[in-house]
Each structure stands twice: as structure tokens, then as C-alpha cells.
Amino acid sequence: MIFRRHRSRLLAPVLAACLAAAAWPLSARPAQGISSNDASRVGGMLKDMHESIEKYYYDRNLQGLDWDARYREYQDRISRAPSLSAGLGLVAGFVDGLGDSHTYFQPPTWSKRVDYGYDVGIVGSEPYVLRVKPDSDAASKLHPGDRILSINGNQITRESFGRMQYILNLLTPQVATRVVVRSPDGSEREELVESRIIEGRALTVLGGPGFSVQMGDMVREMESARHEIRQRSVVMNDVLIWKMPTFLSEPGEIDRMVSQARRHATLILDLRGNPGGFIETLRRLVGSVFDQEQFIATRVIRAGRVRLSAPTRGRDAFTGRLIVLIDSASGSSAELFARVMQLEHRGEIIGDRSAGVVKESRFFPFSQGSQVILTYGAMITSADVLMKDGLSLERVGVTPDLILLPTADDLAAGRDPVMSRAAELAGIALDPVAAARLFQDKD
């Protein structure tokens, strides 16, 4: 993936510009007008988005939009779209009219995938190259610590970061990206970075030709994904450092990690890059660091308001010192956990302001076809979330008690000053370079 986590709001104002400036996406043809077959397919996707959002979106008033009038407008626009990719962009723009970070169109998964070879993340308010794959075209052209000035002619800000993520990763994957960067020494350059195209297979009907081969590929991909999101920990003196990549763990896994933490005086919980996950995992973790039931937030749902709280694990809860690390890619449940710790004065929050994407959502899958299945879907917000102070973190995020950001030089040199500082607060000496390598040896 080219970007770390999260998409943002308000895709529509930049969508046309991004598509026009970008290289030809994998699914595109020269603009000759969308075919009747493709128009019918895209029209079906638009219809599914219109009906599912109208039925399941948490706000019955749909943010005050005339949803039916908007649907008719986009039906007409799709019939006049210049290409299939433009038609898919219109479906995305239709949904994005809600301006909701958790409600968006999941376009079809094509048989080819793109690996850009580099990862970009927001540090403070600026985009930087965070990692480069050694076997990629990017390896000789981009470097960690390079500040991104533009991609395909489009500037990236903290606010527009998610839009570019959505466009380049999901909506219109690119065979190459034109990147303008500024090195830590201040010099600027432009690079055309070729993507790696990964061949795949179209999704086939269960039991159909090629199904067993495809299932094998899917199993391997799931095993790889599980490896990436596993819980990891390091013990240093009387401190447990816990790297929590997501909130997708089962309660038993959270219990196991908390049991380890209870043997130490201090827990450093690293939620940087954690996009969130299951509400039940959040409840289990919150209940594991308080000795009594703890209020988390109020969920604003279609039917009204519901209190969200976490039962304590009592004597099995961790009661020692808690230090929580967050960054701009910490979202959803990760943000809620950090804010609860802050409001209840339970832990120290260190790092960068979090993503500000805390609404709850559900995925609704759709498909077209019989032998070869075209799959797509709608991610739809099912609840807004209000904290104990009555405020929402949406578009705001959590501001750490101690704001501490890596510099461009830190990124280039492979240093992690945030973890190093957290360790210092916990009473242990940890060099920033050693801090950056804490979990690399466990990957």
C-alpha cells in the first residue's frame, strides 16, 4: 500500500483533478464513452449504494441531503461518463456527498493488484516517505525522510491525505506515480516511480473452475494478514512494551497480554499505526486497566443513544503505570482508548495527534455476475461516538499530553524518538535507533 491507514472526508472536490492528473489506472481505457454494459454495471453499483445507505445510515436525515435527487443526478452523469474508471469515480463521489469518513464505496477488486513500493504517512501536518521496499523501483528513487510535496500533481495535506489513499489504493490504482519530494537536506527532485503489478485471478463461483487454486491463494493471504496484526511485546527491566497493531484481537488474546503486563510496574502501549477494530476488543482492553466499570462513550445510532461502557476485570486488571503512544494513523478504537485514558487521568499520552476517524461502521457486500463474480461493497456509518465531555473526536482526534514527532532526519536515520522518550519516562535508557528496531527483529 502506498499510504498508511485511513481515508478522509470530502473526496468530491479533488476527485476529478486527481483522475485527470494521474497515469492511466489499470481498469481504464482511452476516453471513448462508457460502454452500455459497463454503464449498466456501474448503474447497479450506484443503485446499491443509494438503497443501502438510505436504509442503514445512522442519521435518518442523511446529513440533510436530498438523497433521491442526488441519485437521479448521478444516474444521468454515469450515462455520460467517458470511461469505466470515471463511472466508478462518480459512484464514489455520490457516496462522498455525505462527508463522512466511515461511509464510502468499496469498488470492485480487480484481478491485478498494485504495489507502489513505498509507504507514506503524516507526521504532524506533513506527508513523508516512511518506508521503501528494497526490491522496488522506489528503492533507488525515494528514501525514508523525504517530504512529499505532490503525487501526480496533487499536494497532500493532513486533510486530503485520506482522499489520495482512497483514490490510489482503491479507486484507481496506478501503474506509476509521479512524486515530487524534498530531502532532509532541503534539495527537491521529481521522480516517476513505477509500480509493481501483481497478477491475480478474477473471483469465481464457489465450486467452479479454478476455485481450489483460488482458495489456496486466499488462505495464504489470510495467514500473512494474521501475522502482520499479531500482538508483540518486549520486556525491559520492569517495563512491558506492547505493540498493538489493531483492535481485531479476541478477548483471550487481550487477557494474555494484560496478564503479562501485570508482572511489571509500567506498561508502554504502542497504538501508533493502529486503525482500530472491534468494539468488544476496546471494551475488553478498557476494562483491563480499571478496577471498576468504566464509561467509554455514548453511541448515537439510528434508533437513539446507547451508553458504551466496559466492565472491569477486577483483580485481573493492570493497575500499574500506563504510557500510551499514538500518531496520525491511530484511529477509531485506538483513539477512543487513548481519550478515555486522558479524560480519566489513567495514563500519559505521547506522540502525534490521532486521525480523528472514530465513527462506527458496517460493511455491506454486493456482487454481480454468475460464473465470474464482480464484488464490491458499501462501508456505512452505523453510529457516531460522543466522549464523556460530550464532544466527538471525529475530524478532531486526540491531542497527546506530550506532543513528540520524529523529524525528517529521524526518519532517514531509522530513529524512534517517541519510543525512546516513553522508555525514559518509564525509567529505562533506550537509544532512538534501538527503539526503532524493537519489533523489527520480531517481524
pLDDT in tens, 325-350: 999 999 999 999 999 999 999 999 99
In contact, 299 and 246? CB cutoff 8 Å: no
SS (H, E, C) 299-351: EEECCEEEEEEECCCHHHCCCCEEEEEECCCCCCHHHHHHHHHHHCCCCEEEE
Question: What are residue 16's phi and psi, to 5 degrees?
Answer: -65, -40
Counting the structural domains of the chain, the total is 3
- In the chain, pLDDT over 70 holds for what percent of residues? 85
- pLDDT higher than threshold 60 for residue 95: yes
Q: Verify that 193 and 288 share a domain, yes or no.
A: no
- Write down the residue that cell numbers 456527498 correspond to: 97
Asked whether residue 290 falls in the same domain as residue 179, the answer is no
Using the predicted structure, report yes or no on whether residue 223 has a pLDDT greater than 80.
no
User: For the segment 379-432, what is each residue's pLDDT rounded down to a tens digit?
Assistant: 999 999 999 999 999 999 999 999 999 999 999 999 999 999 999 999 999 999
* Cell output for 214: 483460488
pLDDT digits (tens, 9 = 90+) for 4-34: 443 333 333 333 333 333 333 343 344 567 8
Examine the domain organization and report whether 189 and 316 are in the same domain: no
What's the CATH number where 83 sits? 1.20.920.70
| pLDDT mean over 50-66 | 96
**Would 374 be classed as within a structural domain?**
no
pLDDT at 34: 85
Please give the grid coordinates belonging to residue 84: 469505466
Q: Based on the number of CB atoms within 10 Å of its own CB, is 213 exposed (0-12), middle (13-18) or buried (19 or more)?
A: exposed
Amino acid (1-letter code) at residue 247: F
Least trusted range by pLDDT, from 101-115, 282-296, 354-368: 101-115
In this model, does residue 440 exceed pLDDT 70?
yes
Residue 215 falls inside a structural domain: no
Distance between CA 443 and CA 428 in Å, rounded?
24
pLDDT at position 209 over 70: no
In the predicted model, is pLDDT for residue 42 greater than 80? yes
* Residue ranges making up the domain that contains 43: 27-106
Task: Please say which residue of 59, 82, 106 terminates a domain.
Answer: 106
**Given this model, what pLDDT does residue 22 score?**
33
In 3-state terms, what secondary structure has residue 439?
A: coil
180: β partners: 150, 190
- Residue 226's pLDDT is 61
What number is the average pLDDT over the span 47-75? 96
The C-alpha cell that represents 85 in the structure block:
474508471
3-state secondary structure of 423: helix
Of 75, 106, 137, the residue at which a domain comes to its end is 106
